[in-house]
Amino acid sequence: MSNTWKTRLRTCVQNACVAEVSAVKPGNVSPAHSFANATADDFVASAKAIAPVIADVSAATIGQTILQAVAATQRVVDHNTNLGIILLLTPLAAVPEDTLLEDGIEDVLKQLSVEDAVLTYRAIQRASPGGLGNAETQDVDSQPTIDLRACMKLAADRDLIAAQYTNGFHDVLHVGLPLLLQTAKWDGKFQYRAAWLAVRLLAEFGDSLIARKCGKDISDEAQNLAQQVVDSGWPHQAGTDPVYMQLDRFLKLDGNRRNPGTTADMIAALFFAALRNGHCRFNELTNELMFIHD
């Protein structure tokens, strides 16, 4: 890997993460909304910590990089801010420089090993994310005996991030990224791009973190409220802000337990894809992703 490409990857990782947390989205941390134990500054510090680590990844070092990125995060914050982002961005960053993400990600995933699983399990244990529970086989608190992709397949029906390892990052590259590119055609309302993306993803997939922490009923209600926002035509249809605010208020109840964290992680991943593939640039004044013509 050339130093030039490594520098570009580092910039893409950091800017994608900063753009994600800087954008106001329903229920998530942003500069305008902190949790009791987490602020936007925590996520920005985490982004700066993991960027050089992930930029150094190769297809042969996925698990090692995931573990190192978690360790780097823990040197700057004392709580889990970005495990999902690390799990998503690391394989994407391993796609070779001369290959589009959608063309190269499958080859990266096919090379995942048992050692990658062992190191990734260690990273997950170290990050200690909320609401994991226990699995019947290859539980995260055990020693895995199959490769990382096979481990992820066991969780794919209940975890959207695990599903990306199984489906070749389809939901990032073939659902989320096209939705982002669709906003390039918007006539105004650009400040709502990230929130609209979050609503669309939440309506389409629900949120794995909400389901783990709060159960199926709350998760289904969040997904239904997101679908109502989609159906309303927000943000372009006049008079639809109350529908969006209803979703935002619902997600902010019960402390931050209803935080759609998986949705935020997916947005960071599709922001990375847009930057890495050259669809967007990062505005350092506003911490926003902008299309080249904006």
The enclosing domain of 266 has a CATH number of: 1.10.4200.10
What lies within 8 Å, CB to CB, of 19 at 6+ separation is 194, 271, 282, 287, 288, 289
pLDDT classification of 2: cutoffs 50, 70, 90: confident
Domain containing 25: what range?
A: 3-291
Radius of gyration of the chain (CA): 18
Q: What is the mean pLDDT of residues 208-219?
A: 95
Arithmetic mean of pLDDT over the chain: 94
The alpha carbon of residue 78 and the mean position of all alpha carbons in its chain are separated, in whole angstroms, by 20
Predicted confidence at residue 36, as pLDDT, reads 84
The residue count for the chain = 294
Q: What is the mean pLDDT of residues 43-65?
A: 96
Predicted confidence at residue 135, as pLDDT, reads 53
Q: What is the mean pLDDT of residues 211-220?
A: 96
The pTM of the full predicted model, rounded to 2 decimals, is: 0.95
Q: Which of 9-13, 58-62, 255-259 has the highest mean pLDDT?
A: 9-13
Domain count across the chain:
1
Q: What is the mean pLDDT of residues 176-195?
A: 92
Other beta carbons within 10 angstroms of residue 252's beta carbon come to 16
- Contact between residue 30 and residue 40 where contact means Cβ atoms under 8 Å apart: yes
Predicted confidence at residue 294, as pLDDT, reads 53
Which residues does residue 38 pair with via DSSP β-bridges, in sequence order? 35
Predicted confidence at residue 105, as pLDDT, reads 98
Which tens digit of pLDDT belongs to each residue from 236-286? 999 999 999 999 999 999 888 999 999 999 999 999 999 999 999 999 999
C-alpha pair distances (Å), 235 with each of 69, 183, 188, 243, 271: 36, 12, 10, 10, 20
78: burial class by Cβ within 10 Å (0-12, 13-18, 19+)?
exposed
Closest CA to 256 of 206, 204, 205, 213: 213
Which tens digit of pLDDT belongs to each residue from 83-129? 999 999 999 999 999 999 999 999 999 999 999 999 999 999 999 87
